[in-house]
Amino acid sequence: MGKNTSRHVLSILLVVAISVGFIFFQFRNVKWNVVFDVLKNVNLIYIGLACLAMFLYWWLEAVVLQRFGKQADPTLKMGTSFRITMIGQFFNSVTPFASGGQPAQLYLLTRRGIDIGLASSVLLIKFIIYQAMIVATFIFFLIVGFPLLGHTTFEIKYLILIGFVINLGVIIGLVTVAKSERVAAAIVHVLLKPVLLFVKKERREGIRENADSKIASFHEESVRFSGNTRLIWECVFYTTVQLLFYLSIPYFVLLSLEVTDVSLMTTMTYHAFVMKLSSSIPTPGGTGGAEYSFTSFFEMVLSPEKLVMALILWRLITYYSCTIFGAIAMIPFKRKKSKKSIA
């Protein structure tokens, strides 16, 4: 993973540039002396609660990984699961559509000696549950907060719909792959075709057979995991609570700015819409779309000076913290050499 460091640094710099550019353009008429006064009066206790909610979001994701991961590796410790989670958070933050987290976690699990088919099954079932709970949570807040969308632009509603369709399509596709060995094999063989062009003919058949073996293992384990209903429902509960902690973060940010007239349900509803819209933006961390959607919703309840400070604090807690602590989590892995040493 160290080979791509420069690319990840560039991604982070791009994110920072877009975020800073958006803030200065969107709030070019704001009174910055008033913004700094708002900053001086920020209640750090509520900021601490917002940070705690973010930590619990990470921790519960690690709990789900631990519960599924122990089925594949009984020696998997909670500390290792948390590190793998944080590294996944880092790669999700620096790749478009948060596409880098799963491959990074797969690499770390297989590095422990877990069969790639089994490790893929662990991450697939976990990801399906996460996506399903995002859709279920969003539907709930859409029903509860539908009247709030009346104040937003057509573009916002359109992008939210796109985000919803993307999540739903991802779930359907992943469930199909998990349930159908034929579909999984077809996808893998299509992906292998361009790769095999660069491989000697005598090795191609061996690679195909090895891929088929891994697919069979993946399908067998996926069926086994999906049949463990107690474990599935347990992880559904953890994931739901995880998302609720995440959605509550703007509420504590607003309280830190002495905004007390906006309810927890309203802020969580706004955040659910922001989360859904950001997922449809093909930039690392949904940058640009995240700031735009947050501004579009919360400008209805905040003054410009408090809005810009809320946006900065929210982005620091929900995005940049993943990048910073995810990068820190990678350090121990770089120093280890043996497969089991990361435990």
Q: Where are the domains of the chain?
A: 2-335
Mean pLDDT of the 179-185 span: 72
2-13 residue pLDDT tens: 556 677 778 788
DSSP helix/strand/coil, 99: coil
130-176 residue pLDDT tens: 988 998 998 888 887 767 665 555 566 666 777 677 777 777 877 77
Mean pLDDT of the 31-41 span: 90
* DSSP line for 85-97: HHHHHHHHHTSBT
Question: What pLDDT shows up at residue 337?
Answer: 44
Residue 339: pLDDT band (50, 70, 90) is very low
77 Cβ contact list (under 8 Å, min separation 6): 343
Give the angle subtended at the CA of 159 by the CAs of 155 and 162, to the nearest 5°: 145
Question: What pLDDT shows up at residue 285?
Answer: 81
Task: Specify the higher pLDDT residue, 119 or 220.
Answer: 119
Out of 77-81, 183-187, 233-237, 268-272, least confident range: 183-187
Each as own residue / partner, the long-range contacts of residues 220-224 (CB below 8 Å, 24 or more positions apart, any chain) are: 220/117, 221/72, 221/117, 221/118, 221/121, 221/122, 222/121, 222/124, 222/125, 222/178, 222/179, 223/178, 223/179, 224/121
Question: What pLDDT shows up at residue 161?
Answer: 72
DSSP alpha helices (H): ranges in the chain?
Answer: 5-26, 32-40, 44-72, 78-93, 101-111, 116-145, 154-179, 181-196, 201-226, 229-256, 264-278, 289-298, 304-315, 321-335
pLDDT for 338 beyond 50? no
Residue 59: pLDDT band (50, 70, 90) is very high
pLDDT for 343 beyond 50? no
6 Cβ contact list (under 8 Å, min separation 6): none
312 token code pair: 């900065």
Residue type, 258: E
Question: What pLDDT shows up at residue 24?
Answer: 86
Nearest of 279, 285, 280, 327 to residue 94 by alpha carbon: 285
Question: What pLDDT shows up at residue 162?
Answer: 72
Nearest of 312, 286, 316 to residue 298 by alpha carbon: 312
| Reported pTM | 0.83
249-303 residue pLDDT tens: 999 999 999 999 999 999 999 999 898 888 778 788 888 889 988 998 899 889 9
